[in-house]
Structure 1
């Protein structure tokens, strides 16, 4: 018993293969990183448990260090059968079925111990993973609450800014709307004034055209009347000229007759001195005729002045 050094490498490989054939299923091809880490941890724990089982099979005198006290009663109470069987297994590893029958109780105990250790390691790993996940969740939750608080502060500040900007824009819109209303009123008034002025202009233009046509007609009538007046005056002047020529001719005849008589007077005086009275009577008649011609000329002048005044009045 004191010369047993533990399980050989071949025995450990066989035990691991049996455990893998019994308890584990083939892992899928697409495994995640966490699953691989878990499997590696389980393998390491199985190896450690196998090493711990082999160390527990040794007596305490042959161990380099004392094993830690275990809580399980099976691991604490050493059985006499495993050390009696294990030395027989090492010199005769190639024996057939009778050797395997002798090893079955020890192998079963080892398997139970390995299963318990695996369960413990799994529980511990699960607890550790749970703790890690809880810590991560706590950190994430704290970060989320912090970010939410910061975002809420930012949103509040942005809301305040937006309200202020909206107020400023509303004030500008109010100012612009007031100015626009005033300008629109003025534009409407200016449009009314423009339409009224346009109507007056069109009316005045129509009146101007009508007045111009009327003026043209009146000027034509005036020109016609002035032409008619000039024609009348010209005809009157011609008549006057003819009349004056006739009078002048008559006066010239009378002048020639008087000259002839004056030439004949000395002869007559010589011939008839007694006829002076008759000559004096004839001379008085001639003077009366002269006076009558001058009165006719004076009567023609007021007639001409009357005609001129009538034409001017027309």
Structure 2
């Protein structure tokens, strides 16, 4: 649905985007993660045809995209981080206005507005002025506006910033439903747990370049991610440590008087053999704890920053 190849965008001496390439398939939710200033917003602006690329190409639903490519923009629904709604209008009036801008009329438009209101959970508030809405409700209406024309590609730029937990969960559920219906979704966020929950694949961008791309598991493997198993107990911990160092899955064992901390590959499959080896060497276990690397640790390793920096 989206093919991005070699995108470059410069602002004077600053190269904001430097050779960015990725693809998104129909029904796929693709996460673009990066710290502030990494190039996310500039990349999104080029994909949406808002600013020109200095180099590279963008193809949406088989058509080339650029600032002057008007027809192809019908395939895109853009939900910006800044709210794009009229506070004096009701939710339904906002949707009616934007629907008409998108060329929809009559029963087709009213039926679609009903569908969108149901999806974003605002049916019971559709006649209220949006200036009376909470931040989360405004965000949900912002998403609804982007959905009105059945876009093939929905771009969501940090759609849950500043919303309450209930609205945030409603937004995430809506996004999950959209990808399930075959819509391609490009999602940026400052919340790592959102990316882990929603995204089929993730690209980590920093200094204008894609540092890594893949599924969550692929990213962890690319960075050499290993698991940690901590054994707590009593008895022959030193003998247990010596026994466990000989196991193929174990990279390292750190021992103290009452515990062993193991660095291992694929802890869920290795843990049974590790427990057997430790108890067989004379260690009596009171606790076994497994820690697996997550997306946050990968992001920190690749960028040297937390996602919200």
Tell me the TM-score range normalised by the shorter chain.
under 0.3
The higher radius of gyration belongs to 1
Structure with bigger RCO (C-alpha 8 Å, 6+ apart): 2
Q: TM-score, normalised by structure 1?
A: 0.20
Q: TM-score, normalised by structure 2?
A: 0.20
Q: Higher helix proportion, which one?
A: 1
Q: Higher strand proportion, which one?
A: 2
